Structure 1
């Protein structure tokens, strides 16, 4: 019987781990003492049923853990004072990753498996341009976890070559792998992701005698139903955090177009579906019978409004759903309502390694672990986030968390998921656009000024190549 590629990969991994564990045990028990040489690579390959290349991969891991040293043309020697030797790597993380991927539990699990490697974390800035500046100035950062906007900023700044090329994990969602790949090279190992979805209070819909949201909803229907859910001085029908770069771009993506240059080399959105999408967002956030005009500082504020029953529906991500996992609120999720096309925004996190890191082997050990079946299943069991590994993301789990009944929704809407770059703007252009849209959505400028400022300030920020017609 032929062995499938997936089964063959699992068999290879099992044999490789058996070799690593056995050698590690012999070293730590003293059976292989400091100064002793391991059997030759060919002998190990025959003993464990591996190729020489696979054996070298396993030996590289022991080198990263400080258990052996490679002596060219001589062999692999057990290091002295093995038990006292530790490699410490520095990992840059976002402040929300403890919630989003159970970071402490992941690192504890990693260090139990690899006791000679220690991981210390530092918080990286939330602003992509500030992050890139500090990244280039930090010689002590070995690896970091970034979102796709950070990745785009690094690409546009010409910094991708400073990252270590990675091998795509077998079984990771193709959308994510492609999202962190440039010129055929993977620079960020995807770890978790989420589409932006509509989250709603089931009890509010039941009490109002309204049907729950479905994939056919337009924003007009969402607004109509939301007004029926609004109760004066009690709750509003719908809300999202307007300031979030992971929320408002949804409307623009749903236009089915992107920012592009006309024959005169100008970005002109007048009379285009893009302008209608911008209007649609304006209509929603300025509807006093639907949307609360509150001073909110984060998506977490929106989550608290939802948990306390102050709003019936919110635009959110699976990561933000982690704020609901300890609550008793009855809720579910559905695809976002749409403008012209049922599209949604993709939020994704990936791990990268500094090519110049002096602890590169240990850093690679950590990144490989974070995309392993063990780590990805830990994310699946301990959070409501979606792991990047398909087998973990779609695995059935039993836990005490308050998961939405429609958790598997992401599987059905994968074709509708897009990254920010689909809008065809550089990160700097995205910032310019946001400044203009803030003024327009605050009613500080009118539509004519909106279009004029986009022509003047965004035209030179359009990404060259791949633009879709706006008309």
Structure 2
């Protein structure tokens, strides 16, 4: 004889039934205006009595998800309860992703979800991440910021996500801690070389291509220097999204032990840093200018004061209104083509009161990201022959 459940178990069964149907409605399994399965079917599915099923359905009625139609059944309401989700991200991410457009896209798919974007406090990407900066229901972080979050032991603030086999492991593993995936990759953004086509055409020079080494870049940059305020090349050296390119191209890792550090003084690691230094100190190609941020360099490029610079795919979004004629090419290399790849991920704040809806948006952003990746997969692979290489 089956034992009757305790009061606590009974309440848990009702809650689990209501939540299962609630999650299915959020996921779109039961569209607005459609009817849920008959109560008899729900009894068989959940193994509960008719009384228990009706209590679970009544909970959904009170929450505004369904309405009972006498003699017909339980209909999903046309207008779902409105939910407001906040998404925290850097100002740069806000601009690069054109988040106002992202908000409209989300609203088109999920009209009951209202999205508000919050700017993180930190003005510098990858620095000063704290609990206050992750105040939204969702957070958008790149792999540099996530690395710092991990170093600050703040990853416990994020809700673990289910595994996603649709993305390559080298993209998801950098957003995982102790086997738990905490962010869903949504954007892949390689570092590329940007150049002013008019400058090359006027100087009678061939445009950059994937075969360029850094020596080729410097030689062309010297030829593009006009002595009247136009320089051939520059980039924001202080950026964590720029200078590590030379470490990656050295194909060596920076070790913390004293012995390894001494050994690295004569290694290719130092060769990469020396190359970076030599480029920046070349007054025939690079201006003597300490930029405050990437925007300073971008402004010079847009004003025609630079012929070449470095930028990421995401960063190109800020150039949509540019009046200059420019194009992009793979970054120059030392011995073999390698570039820096920035991955943007979306995660759920563990303290969010709307985790189901937040998870829905994370899955949606991940799905959109996979579609974008598929659309230019060949070009991504062309620029990133070693996608697994990241910041050391």
Residue 410, structure 1, aligned to residue 390, structure 2: no
Kept after mapping to 2: 8 A contact 1:344/1:418: no
- Residue 21 of structure 1 deviates from its aligned partner by 6.7
**Structure 1 residues 410-465: Cα deviation after superposition (integer angstroms, max 9, x where no partner):** 221333335544x2xxxxxxxxxxxxxxxxxxxxxxxxxxxxxxxxxxxxxxxxxx
Residue 91, structure 1, aligned to residue 87, structure 2: yes
Kept after mapping to 1: 8 A contact 2:96/2:316: no
SS across alignment from 2:33? helix
**Structure 1 residues 162-201: Cα deviation after superposition (integer angstroms, max 9, x where no partner):** 3222234454344322321234322111111211111112
Kept after mapping to 2: 8 A contact 1:168/1:189: no
What is residue 150 of structure 2 aligned with on the other side? 155
Q: Which stretch shifts more, 99-108 or 189-198?
A: 99-108
| Change beyond 3 A, Cα 1:279–1:265 | closer
SS across alignment from 1:241? coil
What is residue 107 of structure 1 aligned with on the other side? 103
Unaligned regions of 5+ residues in structure 2, if any? 1-23, 47-51, 65-78
Q: RMSD of the alignment, in Å? A: 3.2
Residue 393, structure 1, aligned to residue 373, structure 2: yes
Measured in 2, the distance between the counterparts of 1:163 and 1:191 equals: 16
What is residue 186 of structure 1 aligned with on the other side? 181
Kept after mapping to 1: 8 A contact 2:143/2:344: yes
- Residue 269 of structure 1 deviates from its aligned partner by 2.5
Residue 218, structure 1, aligned to residue 213, structure 2: yes
- Residue 268 of structure 1 deviates from its aligned partner by 4.5
Kept after mapping to 2: 8 A contact 1:147/1:349: yes
| Change beyond 3 A, Cα 1:369–1:409 | closer
Measured in 2, the distance between the counterparts of 1:123 and 1:165 equals: 23
Measured in 1, the distance between the counterparts of 2:131 and 2:354 equals: 21
SS across alignment from 2:141? strand
Which has the larger Rg? 2
- Residue 328 of structure 1 deviates from its aligned partner by 4.0
**Structure 1 residues 199-244: Cα deviation after superposition (integer angstroms, max 9, x where no partner):** 1122222222222222222111210111011111141111111121
Measured in 1, the distance between the counterparts of 2:188 and 2:104 equals: 22
SS across alignment from 1:190? strand
**Structure 1 residues 335-383: Cα deviation after superposition (integer angstroms, max 9, x where no partner):** 11122442211112111112232221121122122223xxx2xxxxxxx
Measured in 2, the distance between the counterparts of 1:307 and 1:271 equals: 39
What is residue 317 of structure 1 aligned with on the other side? 312
Q: Which of 34, 37, 40 is the equivalent residue of 1:39?
A: 37
Q: Which of 80, 88, 113 is the equivalent residue of 1:117?
A: 113
What is residue 292 of structure 2 aligned with on the other side? 297
SS across alignment from 1:79? helix
Kept after mapping to 1: 8 A contact 2:192/2:383: no
Measured in 2, the distance between the counterparts of 1:315 and 1:97 equals: 17
Measured in 2, the distance between the counterparts of 1:132 and 1:251 equals: 29
- Residue 127 of structure 1 deviates from its aligned partner by 4.9
- Residue 24 of structure 1 deviates from its aligned partner by 2.0
Kept after mapping to 2: 8 A contact 1:141/1:354: yes
- Residue 161 of structure 1 deviates from its aligned partner by 3.6
SS across alignment from 1:131? coil
**Structure 1 residues 275-306: Cα deviation after superposition (integer angstroms, max 9, x where no partner):** 11111111111111100122432212222222
How do 1:211-360 residues align onto structure 2 when only pairs under 5 Å count? 211-261=206-256, 264=259, 266=261, 268-360=263-355
- Residue 120 of structure 1 deviates from its aligned partner by 2.4
**Structure 1 residues 144-171: Cα deviation after superposition (integer angstroms, max 9, x where no partner):** 1111122112223333343222234454
Count how many residue pairs are aligned between Structure 1 and Structure 2: 347
Residue 79, structure 1, aligned to residue 74, structure 2: no
